[in-house]
Amino acid sequence: MNGRARCGRITGAGAGTLAVLLALAGCSGGAKPAPHGAASAPGATVSRPAVPSGPYVAIGDSYTAGLKVDPAGGGVRGCSRSAANYPSLVAADLHLAPGRFTDVSCSSATTADLTAAQQVAGGSNPPQLDALSAATGLVTIGIGGNDAGFMKVMEHCAEQGVAASLLRAVDPKGAKDSPCRDSYTAADGSDKLTGVIGTVGQNVAGVLGEVTRRAPHAKVYLVGYPALLPADPARCGSLLGGAVTAGDLAFLAAQEQRLNAELKNRAEAAGAVFVDTYTPSLGHDMCSGQSTRWIEPPFPAAGRAPLHPNAAGQQGMAVAVLRSVRGG
């Protein structure tokens, strides 16, 4: 290998784009420079953890399943599982044979649907954790957003924003700057969503414990959520048409970061690896241009799912997972 850090050949849907993204993430095949001040002998190689070779089981909700990302994959129709979601791209890049990759992710899944059958259009998705066994070598999990009711929170903020806009038209001084945040603020000034996110963390901790019990030899990766909103809420003004106030956009962005922080803490406590997809997705949020965004806006491009990763988003998440799996 001559000291070169190589990433596997990518095949399947989105292969060309994913190859470029992997190159940008440091998987170009060229040797990486040694840290400043580090000594390296000629021909020396850097020891890296062994990359799991499977069997690989992918567990999760719609952000994992790849809702409305073409082409369609297998499973129950209502799960809306894509053949180009990040688990499929990861499996392809790791050169896993079909029998060594199982994707049981399903749209709308909560942590409860990992241990019990989930009823969806077209049938029932079996308990996702049932796909695990003592032979499983690699597990990715993307779950928690539906437990937190995050999409419902966003819908509530939109409703509050529309009401504030109507009020502002007749009483500019009476309209609040952050009506949604105010509605989630208790009388004592505390955030009502704090307890919700804490409960999500407890649920996810239970899932991680069960994964360890069922697949004791597997390397486990808990995948976080990519950035839905930009750091500067003003960038969304024209796209959302004032449907959500700038203050509430900042509130929503902060809540997503809190959810990711909770997931990270739970992963570390359970001995799992947390995969940060938020940082690499900055600048690719739903308010970015159509050619650069990873997340679709409330009024998405034709055939896409609103407020969900598109094909580019799934590819970006795959890069983040692969980088973690390879210890990069």
Catalytic residues: 62, 308
Residues contacting 1, CB < 8 A, separation 6+:
45
Nearest one of 13, 8, 11, 96 to 312, comparing CA atoms: 13
- Cβ count within 10 A of residue 202: 13
Q: Which element (helix H / strand E) includes 321?
A: helix 311-325
DSSP E strand boundaries for the chain:
56-60, 101-103, 118-120, 123-125, 138-142, 219-223, 273-275
Q: Are 164 and 245 in contact (CB under 8 A)?
A: yes
Residues contacting 265, CB < 8 A, separation 6+:
201
Q: Are 21 and 316 in contact (CB under 8 A)?
A: yes
Q: Are 61 and 145 in contact (CB under 8 A)?
A: yes
- Cβ count within 10 A of residue 163: 14
DSSP code for 251 = H
